[in-house]
């Protein structure tokens, strides 16, 4: 089995959309069901600063992208500032990792870790500060972030979460990845 990360291509999007929806009933990711937007919008087909896929023996089995502003917040800039301040960096260098998932047929074989690591490396090369949002419901992802050095900054309630559960249930964790000691 060979895992390879490469930049996303437009022709990857239909298969990724199908894989995303296939795993949703078991992971609740995306949290909104049915998803009120096309899967291509969820994957940031048009507005990603960057996007990567992971292939397993040539089969595209996972995706991650990053954007300039957190989605669904009246004041997304405030959130970027909070993350940037937490690591002593300027807010205009923040980028938000999202649309991160691995197809069910490839789970647990290291594809997610490899993809996240590649995204972080790409952001670092671009001089960006990696940030993300994660719900406690998405335990595997949260576990991966905590085990790779991501830190909690705050919790928030984005519009998309309120639209599903109102004020019920937990908020979203906002996390930032501090620079490694050798990068400071």
List residues binding ligand COA (CB under 6 A).
27, 29, 100-102, 107-113, 134, 138-141, 143-144, 147
Cβ at position 150, least distance to ligand COA in Å: 11
Q: Which of 171, 148, 176 is nearest to 161 (CA)?
A: 171
Cβ at position 93, least distance to ligand COA in Å: 21
Cβ closest to ligand COA, residue 51 vs residue 134: 134
Question: Cβ contacts of residue 44 below 8 Å, gap of 6+?
Answer: 51, 65, 67, 98, 99
Cβ closest to ligand COA, residue 91 vs residue 144: 144
Q: How far apart are CA 107 and CA 127, in angstroms?
A: 30
Cβ closest to ligand COA, residue 80 vs residue 101: 101
Q: How far apart are CA 176 and CA 84, in angstroms?
A: 8
Distances (CA, A) of 149 to 16, 130, 174: 28, 11, 14
Cβ at position 141, least distance to ligand COA in Å: 3
CB closest to ligand COA, residue no: 112
The Cβ of residue 11 has, within 10 Å, a number of other Cβ atoms equal to 8
Q: Strand, helix or coil at 5? A: strand
Cβ at position 95, least distance to ligand COA in Å: 15
Cβ at position 7, least distance to ligand COA in Å: 18
Cβ closest to ligand COA, residue 127 vs residue 136: 136
Cα torsion at 6, 12, 13, 14 (round to 10°)? Answer: -150
* Cα 110 versus chain centre, distance: 16
Cβ at position 94, least distance to ligand COA in Å: 16
Cβ closest to ligand COA, residue 10 vs residue 108: 108
Please report where in the chains the tokens 């999007």 appear, as a residue: 13
Cβ closest to ligand COA, residue 36 vs residue 90: 36
């Amino acid at each position: 089995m060979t895992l390879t990360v490469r930049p996303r291509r437009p022709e990857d999007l239909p298969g990724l959309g199908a894989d995303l929806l296939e795993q949703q009933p078991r992971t609740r990711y995306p949290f909104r069901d049915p998803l009120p937007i096309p899967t291509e919008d969820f994957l940031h087909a048009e507005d990603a600063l960057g996007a990567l896929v992971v292939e397993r023996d040539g089969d595209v089995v996972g995706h991650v992208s990053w954007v300039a502003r957190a989605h669904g917040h009246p004041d997304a800039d405030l959130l970027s500032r909070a993350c940037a301040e937490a690591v002593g960096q300027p807010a205009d260098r923040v980028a938000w990792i999202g649309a991160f998932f691995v197809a069910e047929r490839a789970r647990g074989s290291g594809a997610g870790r490899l993809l996240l690591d590649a995204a972080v490396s790409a952001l670092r090369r671009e001089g960006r500060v990696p940030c993300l949002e994660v719900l406690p419901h998405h335990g595997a992802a949260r576990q991966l972030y905590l085990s790779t050095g991501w830190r909690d900054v705050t919790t928030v309630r984005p519009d998309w979460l309120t639209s599903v559960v109102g004020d019920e249930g937990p908020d979203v964790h906002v996390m930032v990845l501090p620079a490694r000691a050798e990068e400071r």
